Amino acid sequence: MKKWMLLVGMMTIGSLKAQLPIFIGNSNEPEPISINYGLLPDLGGTEIQNYGLNLSFAKPIKKGVLGARLGYQLFSFDFNSSTNLVNLSTFEDIHSINTGVFYLRPLKNNWRMVVSVGTTLTSNFGDGISEEDFVFNAILGFTKRWGEDNRFSNLLVGAFYGTQFGEPIVFPAVSFSQQLNEHWSYSLGIPVTGLTYRVNAKHSVAILASPQGIFGNNSNEIAVEGNATLKNTKLQFNGINTRLSYRYLFTKNLAFVGEVGFVPNPTLQILDDENEEIFDFDPESGAYFNLGLRFVLQRPKQNNSK
């Protein structure tokens, strides 16, 4: 049982939904397989569609848990904007492949150490693959859980490195969550802030907010204003996704997730090969929709009253 609980903790916290893809669910149970379709229909002239598949696996080894993750997303952009500065057509399809490994090790006083390292390949694949298409990502964190099965608390402190806020940066991982009773739970901080109400074993609703970011490389050589040409330009998008999420458990291991929300004051820019702005789409706030399927592992009951 103890090793199984470590596996659950690792898949839920350590993988952090495959390094925080653009859409994040509202389940406390580990989800080793998830499929998503998302839509931002109008950000002041730009539509973004997202198709995603995420896989994760974890196995107890000696005193810890070792796991791996693999995710693929296609971001499809429909630009109604036009500009003489740069050809936008080569930025319309951005592919993102995320791979990595994670490790969790128990420490004293019910603390656990979380380490995750990996790489994300995000590109239009226009002219092959180069080092410019890859971004390193990492997590170093410490978690502590205390309480009983239907009334417990989780604390996460540490740091991330990745593109969750657009251009790759280091940012803090600070989150406190509580399961108040069999119906209510909440989380405050990064990566997810939200309030969840579990109606019964099959139905739950949540109000959530989390960062979403894209930093995709354009490997095509493109013409910019004047006679200049550039290669390895970047498409950067970032915003805070606020949403209402509904989750329905079809069977013991299969769930549907539907979400509707709002992205306030997003950023959408094209950058040159030195990450300096070439063109700003000046996007407006816009609505957001998401549909998904999850393969769910039920979380075993436990009593951690330490």
Distances (CA, A) of 74 to 48, 105, 129, 258: 10, 34, 16, 19
Q: Residue 21's pLDDT is what?
A: 34
SS3 content of the chain, % helix, strand, coil (to 5): 10, 60, 30
Q: Residue 232's pLDDT is what?
A: 92
210 close to 241: Cβ distance less than 8 angstroms: yes
Q: Which positions of the chain have pLDDT values less than 50?
A: 1-26, 303-306
Q: Residue 203's pLDDT is what?
A: 96
The continuous run of DSSP H or E covering 5 comes out as helix 2-9
57 close to 36: Cβ distance less than 8 angstroms: no
Residues 6+ apart with CB under 8 A from 107: 113, 142
Alpha-carbon span 270 to 81, nearest angstrom: 13
**pTM, two decimal places:** 0.85
Kindly tell me the burial class for residue 214, based on how many C-beta atoms sit within 10 Å of its own C-beta (0-12, 13-18, 19 or more).
Answer: buried
- Nearest-5° angle of CA 295, CA 64, CA 109? 110
CA atoms within 13 A on the CB side of 216: 27
Q: Residue 1's pLDDT is what?
A: 35
Alpha-carbon span 78 to 131, nearest angstrom: 27
- Nearest-5° angle of CA 116, CA 191, CA 179? 105
Q: Residue 212's pLDDT is what?
A: 87
Alpha-carbon span 193 to 182, nearest angstrom: 19
Q: Give backbone dihedrals phi and psi of 160, rounded to 5 degrees, phi first.
A: -115, 155
**Three-class SS of residue 91?**
helix
Tokens coding 217: 């490389």
Q: Residue 226's pLDDT is what?
A: 62
